[in-house]
């Protein structure tokens, strides 16, 4: 399944600027594309493990996970 390929794929390069990264992820979530939502989950989850997330990014990760689970169910 394509979603699981995305989740296993290598970490995507993200903007280092928090606001640009947040906006890019927000656009992916708003797209409604399950592949883009999976990219957000993958990238935020890995960032959380490596560097930690801001409060806003933590909320975004929780929302992205919720969307992904509902799409896969």
Query: Is the pLDDT confidence value at 68 over 90?
Result: yes
Distance CA 72, CA 34 (A): 9
Per-residue pLDDT tens for 33-46? 999 999 999 999 99
Domain carrying residue 60: 2-72
Per-residue pLDDT tens for 6-19? 999 987 777 788 89
Query: Is the pLDDT confidence value at 57 over 90?
Result: yes
Overall average pLDDT of the 24-33 stretch = 96
Q: What is the CATH number of the domain that holds 23?
A: 1.20.58.1290
The pTM of this model reads 0.91
**Nearest residue to 31 via CA among 71, 72, 73:** 71
Q: How many domains does the chain have?
A: 1
């Amino acid at each position: 399944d394509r979603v699981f390929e995305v989740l296993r794929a290598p970490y995507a390069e993200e903007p280092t600027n928090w606001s640009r990264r947040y906006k890019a992820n927000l656009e992916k979530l708003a797209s409604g594309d399950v592949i883009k939502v999976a990219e957000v989950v993958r990238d935020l989850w890995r960032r959380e493990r490596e560097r930690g997330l801001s409060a806003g990014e933590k909320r975004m990760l929780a929302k992205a996970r919720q969307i992904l689970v509902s799409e896969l169910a």
